[in-house]
Structure 1
Amino acid sequence: MTTPPRSAPAALDTATHPRKSPAATRALTGEDAVLRAAYRLCRRTTRQHDPAMYALVQLMPAGLRPACWALWAAATALDDLADEPDVAPAERAARVEAWTVSLVHDLAAGTSSDPVRHALVDAAGRWRLDLTSLQGAMASARDDAHDRRFADWAAWRAWCNKEVVPWVEQVRHLFEQAGAPMTLRLDRQTDYERFVDGAQLTDVLTDLSTDLAQGLLLLPQEALEPFPGAEEDLLQGRWSPAVAALITELAALARRRVTRPAMTTGMHPGAAIVLETAAGLLRAQLDAVEAAGPTLLQRTPRPSVVARARLLVPARLRSTLAWSLTPLTAPTVPGPRRPKGPTPSVSLAAENTGLRPPPSHPSGARPPMIPAGRMPAHVAVIMDGNGRWAEQHGLQRSDGHRAGTAAVREIVYGALEIGLRHLTLYAFSTENWKRDAEEITAILATLQSELDEAPFRDLDVRQRWSGRPDRLPEDLVDSLRREEARTRARTGLTLTVCINYGGRDEITQAAAALARAAREGEVDPDHLNEDDFARHLPHPDMPEADLLWRTGNEQRTSNFLPWHAAYAELYFSPGYWPDMDRRDLWQAITEYSRRQRRHGAVPGRLTSPDTHHSPPHTQPDPRHRAR
């Protein structure tokens, strides 16, 4: 699924004689004419702005189509506002922001005077969609009102993911709520990511003429550099041999990325047909791009009616049969008199609205003042000693893991208070599968319980997961990914929890991804460097660890973050993990601040603490306190 084409008209269709509402819209039992009209408008918007997207929605179960129309029409409305011609960038950004803020109020009220938002609010309540994950996509649409440049494919991909993935995740959640989950094979994650890349690259090539007319070239410098002169020619609207070679290269790259036959293996046949047809339509679009030649810079290319019919006619027949075999859950009917105020299932807070500071330590302890130049950006923690703590207290080892969750909360609170940017916790290693089955079950159940309780829901914490999905319970993986999506746009502490993680395995995955990239012509094996490798790690934006802290009176790194912790300062403490609290984190950071970091260079003078990090108050050494 791609973002709305930038060639779409700015105004939504408000014809006074709409077509007869489809069966899916008529099925909205008990709803008034205004709501039905809103859904019809979303349907028309989808059909007019992108016939291919409309065709894909028609392959979905009829009951899900109105919600898909509402989601797509909302994405289109935002994109239109961001690209509105003859409007200054600052004004376009302000209009996107105003639309987003209005949606927050509309969700709280349960209705809207804007027809697209009215349909979206209804769909969110009807299907219990959590729209908080769209926050980053809406912010990206706002930022799209300004010039956008990308140094490399990694930066381009990050932009694409921020714009597209949250909307795709909403559709996936919609299928889940209907009882027809669009299950993605956990071992094919790279295929899904590459498919999204290919879909976005196809979209950029398709809308090249519209973007260039606005002075935009949404391609990374890394892609342009091998074709000298192509960038200048494109911006001047000139078709040249360099431009032709660039388009041929990028179209071939997009084609490879959207051709992922194994992606639908094991998926529900209805969902598989939707994705396979999407891939076919994207390839047909790329055929049109390549056939356009110089006209690509003048108008938007489209596949022929015959090419589309060859794909869509059999797909409709197959999808009708596939979905007829799947009983779907009926949506709830929220009704016009829902309680006022936002509910967790439909709230969409602005970036920092509604977030609270962490609770204070019971003792009243406050974090130490650390000079900004001495503050680590990334602290990684091996949380060791849960089982031994339990044995020491005459308890089962599983009780120690449950007790360790309180320490996790404390450390996160302390990280927020002192202003730490990145915290990575080692929760379950690939080697931990060797433990007793009862203990493994207890650890995984504890992790699931903590995710269900969501103790950091109202804190400025961006939650991420690193590790392999293999062997983990599907519910746990779904919860981890849901928290990632829900908190994606938060800007405070980035908390990465490593579950079923192994450092060598992470490096092996990166090597495999790099090999695939080389095979597909994305990188040159003869000119690889460390940055190329780092870009293919599971979390390429994770900074190097400055401090690696291990509890439990053990002094080894245990296959934890070998790439990121290559130059980390090591800190070992004797206490078991359940006995730790935020003051122990502050003590570790204080110790780090006293060390001289060399990185192989000649020792120099320590950085002068001309600025201090975080709270302007005095604080005794955190080591001097009673347990």
Structure 2
Amino acid sequence: MRTNPQPTPAPLDAATPAWQGRATARALMGEDPALRTAYRLCRRTTRTHDPAIHAIIQLMPAVLRPACWALWATASVLDDLADQPDVEPAQRAARVEAWTKALKHDLAVGTSTDPIRYALVDAARRWRLDLSSLEGAMARTRDDAHGLRFADWAALRAWSNEEIVPWVEQVRQMFEQAGAPMTLRLDRHADYEDFVAGAQLTDLLTDLSTDLDQGRLLVPLEALEPFPGAEADLAQRRWSPAVAALIAELTAQARRRVTRPAMTRGMHPGVATVLDTAAELMRLQLDAIDAAGPALLKRPPRPSVAARARVLVPARLRSILAWSLTSLTVPDPRPSVVDVNGPGLADDGTGLRPPPPHREGARPPRIAADRMPSHVAIIMDGNGRWAEQRGLPRREGHRVGTAAAHEMVFGALEIGLRHLTLYAFSNENWKRDTEEVTAIFDGVRRELDEGPLRDLDVRQRWSGRPDRLPEELVHAIRREEHRTRNRTGLTLTICLDYGGREEITRTAAALAQAARAGEIDPHLIGPDDFARHLPHPDMPDVDLLWRTGNEQRTSNFLPWHAAYAELYFTPDYWPDTDRRDLWQAITEYGRRQRRHGAAPAPLLPPNTTGRLPDAQPDARH
């Protein structure tokens, strides 16, 4: 349980001049001399290991820089441990593993004797970062100590998503907390993917000589195939026509991918400056690769100081102006009391906290066990209409609706519900405006990254199609599924890009495939066989299906599971509901008779009110 609540961060004055922003950054490094020294070491490590990254961090708001130095210094240390020359791969992997375990311990106790870990612990606590998403990246770094080889571009992209993207996601979270969100639009998702792939390819070409020194070649086999002899020539450090043609092709491909002018349109000007400058620096790096020729196989090429200055000087001026006109949020001072369950690496399922109490002190009614539903499914309808009634953008309705979803989870935990399924986005909702769709998905991702459900006894699952969702959202969903898989309280299933008919169609296709493979006799297929091929075979039938928003239809929601569900419709829009409405719905469910085709039970005596003897009056109505 958290031992100290997080106070509300204080805003940084929108008119703060650049020098005062630097003073704020210095203040964030703390009064502790050891902590200030740790952050300065992180800055030097970042500048030495990757000057381009250091230059990009200097374009960020001053309040973000110390934490960014700590993140990149951590990644650099782990890379160095995994790539140590003259050390056996098993020993390199063991050193990465030991460093990672030490970080987990340091995060738990709130301090460290290692300066870089000390800075990262402080940054994680100030910005309330959940570093569990980095666990996979650190594990990949450990495994990389045994050597890397990619069969195709897809394998390289998957490695990049696991090894590199999680570190960038931490920075994205800090931008959001600071009040300058790095909003990614769904209609430009392909641009973001291409940009990340281009950045990875630029790094691969830059580090080609270093990788060859260590006996590894990270260029995918798929890229080598059109250039016969190039792989052998690279192994021998021969600048042959095949190698020259390969490098020219890869450099051109990287240049196309990092040149995405539409990618930053509509973003905050400070964020856009950071990303646009990163793209310009990568193009400079690709120019240096083109100009290096045979020297590329001997040492990493670097752009000239003058060329970098032509990009960075105007970018620095643009960034100073952009951030001086932006009201930013400064993180609170580092907690003085150790929070043993604060942000960390892997959550092992211990130290979970109870849900927060209702703001008015409402408590759940007492429901007899035989009248308690096992599974409640909710169609959260009316977010957009709620906002329109108030003259607000529809996305505001979804934002406020998120708080109502929190309330339902809190109320479900308090009353002892085992399964709660929420309909967040149907496969027909793609017809909506792109801005609204983007807002919905951004809200889901923020919830997964930093929402208040992270420390509750909630197992999170997701149902729907993964192929049309943003890749980073799918990664975040799967990360939370893995992280919470052993929790035993409430199972929360979020239906995202979900359609009931589509689910049944895909399940039928899986059954047909099983029958074709001889795994099942098609003449003996029954309901249990069908249920075993559903996306979540262990999901129980829905006992109560509740829809808000004054609509009375089920809208293609869980048709298989809800075949015998009790239906419950209410007029309030979703943002106007809270946990008391869930308790009211469950109380109403307890009053109903569920026969499933059997004869009705005897009627109650005339003097019976119909209220369950062990149910308290409704806490709200």
Please state whether the residue corresponding to 1:129 is helix, strand or coil: coil
Counterparts of 1:274 and 1:450 in 2: how far apart (Å)? 25
1:258 aligned onto 2:247: no
* TM-score after normalising by structure 2: 0.62
8 Å contact from structure 1 (residues 43, 66) kept in 2 = yes
Counterparts of 2:198 and 2:269 in 1: how far apart (Å)? 22
Counterparts of 1:290 and 1:308 in 2: how far apart (Å)? 16
Residues 41 and 159 of structure 1: is their aligned pair in 2 closer, same or farther, counting only changes over 3 Å?
A: same
Letter of the 1:111 partner, please give it.
T
Counterparts of 1:264 and 1:255 in 2: how far apart (Å)? 17
Residue 496 of structure 1: how far off its partner (Å): 8.5
8 Å contact from structure 1 (residues 462, 489) kept in 2 = no
Residues 299 and 411 of structure 1: is their aligned pair in 2 closer, same or farther, counting only changes over 3 Å?
A: same
Counterparts of 1:102 and 1:578 in 2: how far apart (Å)? 52
Residues 208 and 275 of structure 1: is their aligned pair in 2 closer, same or farther, counting only changes over 3 Å?
A: same
Residues 137 and 464 of structure 1: is their aligned pair in 2 closer, same or farther, counting only changes over 3 Å?
A: farther
Counterparts of 1:57 and 1:172 in 2: how far apart (Å)? 13
Residue 178 of structure 1: how far off its partner (Å): 1.5
Out of 490, 496, 500, which is 1:499 matched to? 496
Q: Counterpart of 1:513?
A: none
Q: Counterpart of 2:91?
A: 91
Counterparts of residues 171-250 of structure 1 (less than 5 Å): 171-250=171-250
1:280 aligned onto 2:277: no
Out of 471, 480, 489, which is 1:487 matched to? 480
Residue by residue, what CA displacement relative to the aligned partner does 1:22-78 show, whole Å, maximum 9, x if unpaired? 745532375211111111111111111111111111111112111111111011011
Letter of the 1:283 partner, please give it.
R
Letter of the 2:345 partner, please give it.
L
Residues 339 and 384 of structure 1: is their aligned pair in 2 closer, same or farther, counting only changes over 3 Å?
A: closer
1:67 aligned onto 2:56: no
Q: Counterpart of 1:56?
A: 56
Letter of the 2:205 partner, please give it.
L
Q: Counterpart of 1:3?
A: none
Residue 117 of structure 1: how far off its partner (Å): 0.6
Larger Rg: 2
Counterparts of 2:81 and 2:116 in 1: how far apart (Å)? 13
Residues 257 and 577 of structure 1: is their aligned pair in 2 closer, same or farther, counting only changes over 3 Å?
A: farther
Counterparts of 2:557 and 2:213 in 1: how far apart (Å)? 49
Letter of the 2:280 partner, please give it.
G
Please state whether the residue corresponding to 2:428 is helix, strand or coil: helix
Counterparts of 1:91 and 1:464 in 2: how far apart (Å)? 41
Residue by residue, what CA displacement relative to the aligned partner does 1:433-488 show, whole Å, maximum 9, x if unpaired? 899xxxx9xx99x9899975638966786768757999xxxxxx999679538538
Letter of the 1:318 partner, please give it.
R
1:338 aligned onto 2:337: yes
Q: Counterpart of 1:574?
A: 563
8 Å contact from structure 1 (residues 136, 488) kept in 2 = no
* Unaligned runs of at least 5 residues, structure 1: 1-21, 357-361, 364-382, 388-397, 413-423, 471-476, 507-544, 562-569, 580-627
Residues 257 and 263 of structure 1: is their aligned pair in 2 closer, same or farther, counting only changes over 3 Å?
A: same
Letter of the 2:84 partner, please give it.
E
Please state whether the residue corresponding to 1:428 is helix, strand or coil: strand
Residues 231 and 265 of structure 1: is their aligned pair in 2 closer, same or farther, counting only changes over 3 Å?
A: same
1:81 aligned onto 2:81: yes
Please state whether the residue corresponding to 1:111 is helix, strand or coil: coil
Residue 428 of structure 1: how far off its partner (Å): 3.4
Residue by residue, what CA displacement relative to the aligned partner does 1:119-161 show, whole Å, maximum 9, x if unpaired? 1111111121111111111111111101212222111101001
Counterparts of 1:456 and 1:36 in 2: how far apart (Å)? 31
Please state whether the residue corresponding to 2:328 is helix, strand or coil: coil
Residues 101 and 30 of structure 1: is their aligned pair in 2 closer, same or farther, counting only changes over 3 Å?
A: closer
Counterparts of residues 306-385 of structure 1 (less than 5 Å): 306-335=306-335, 337-343=336-342, 346-349=343-346, 354=350
Counterparts of 1:102 and 1:242 in 2: how far apart (Å)? 46
Counterparts of 2:157 and 2:471 in 1: how far apart (Å)? 23
Q: Counterpart of 1:529?
A: none
Counterparts of 1:178 and 1:385 in 2: how far apart (Å)? 33
Aligned-residue CA RMSD (Å): 4.8
8 Å contact from structure 1 (residues 355, 459) kept in 2 = no
Please state whether the residue corresponding to 2:330 is helix, strand or coil: coil
Please state whether the residue corresponding to 1:267 is helix, strand or coil: coil
Residues 504 and 254 of structure 1: is their aligned pair in 2 closer, same or farther, counting only changes over 3 Å?
A: farther
8 Å contact from structure 1 (residues 126, 333) kept in 2 = yes
Counterparts of 2:214 and 2:161 in 1: how far apart (Å)? 23
Q: Counterpart of 1:428?
A: 425
* Percent identity of paired positions between Structure 1 and Structure 2: 62
Q: Counterpart of 1:454?
A: 453
Counterparts of 2:44 and 2:186 in 1: how far apart (Å)? 35
Letter of the 1:248 partner, please give it.
A
8 Å contact from structure 1 (residues 465, 496) kept in 2 = no
Please state whether the residue corresponding to 1:329 is helix, strand or coil: strand
Residues 75 and 504 of structure 1: is their aligned pair in 2 closer, same or farther, counting only changes over 3 Å?
A: farther
Please state whether the residue corresponding to 1:499 is helix, strand or coil: strand
Q: Counterpart of 1:33?
A: 33
Q: Counterpart of 1:43?
A: 43
Residue by residue, what CA displacement relative to the aligned partner does 1:357-380 show, whole Å, maximum 9, x if unpaired? xxxxx99xxxxxxxxxxxxxxxxx
How many residues get paired?
A: 449
Letter of the 2:283 partner, please give it.
R
Counterparts of 1:254 and 1:142 in 2: how far apart (Å)? 27
Counterparts of 1:468 and 1:184 in 2: how far apart (Å)? 18
Please state whether the residue corresponding to 2:72 is helix, strand or coil: helix
Letter of the 2:338 partner, please give it.
P
Residue 502 of structure 1: how far off its partner (Å): 6.9
Letter of the 1:184 partner, please give it.
L
Q: Counterpart of 2:615?
A: none
**Quick check: 173-182 or 115-124, which moved more?**
173-182
* Unaligned runs of at least 5 residues, structure 2: 1-21, 353-368, 371-376, 382-403, 504-531, 544-554, 569-621
Residues 448 and 182 of structure 1: is their aligned pair in 2 closer, same or farther, counting only changes over 3 Å?
A: closer
Letter of the 1:82 partner, please give it.
A
Residue 186 of structure 1: how far off its partner (Å): 3.2
Letter of the 1:263 partner, please give it.
M
Counterparts of 1:449 and 1:44 in 2: how far apart (Å)? 31
Counterparts of 1:86 and 1:127 in 2: how far apart (Å)? 38
Residue 347 of structure 1: how far off its partner (Å): 1.8
Letter of the 2:337 partner, please give it.
R
Q: Counterpart of 1:154?
A: 154
Counterparts of 2:37 and 2:244 in 1: how far apart (Å)? 45
Counterparts of 2:189 and 2:379 in 1: how far apart (Å)? 33
Residues 409 and 92 of structure 1: is their aligned pair in 2 closer, same or farther, counting only changes over 3 Å?
A: farther
8 Å contact from structure 1 (residues 409, 455) kept in 2 = no
* TM-score after normalising by structure 1: 0.61
Counterparts of 1:429 and 1:207 in 2: how far apart (Å)? 44
Residues 409 and 216 of structure 1: is their aligned pair in 2 closer, same or farther, counting only changes over 3 Å?
A: farther
8 Å contact from structure 2 (residues 156, 220) kept in 1 = yes
Counterparts of residues 492-571 of structure 1 (less than 5 Å): 497-500=494-497, 546-547=533-534
Residue 490 of structure 1: how far off its partner (Å): 4.8
Letter of the 2:480 partner, please give it.
T
Counterparts of 1:152 and 1:495 in 2: how far apart (Å)? 37
Please state whether the residue corresponding to 2:125 is helix, strand or coil: helix
Letter of the 2:426 partner, please give it.
S
Counterparts of 2:179 and 2:496 in 1: how far apart (Å)? 28
Q: Counterpart of 1:616?
A: none
8 Å contact from structure 1 (residues 111, 121) kept in 2 = yes
Q: Counterpart of 1:622?
A: none
8 Å contact from structure 1 (residues 185, 266) kept in 2 = no
Residues 33 and 308 of structure 1: is their aligned pair in 2 closer, same or farther, counting only changes over 3 Å?
A: same
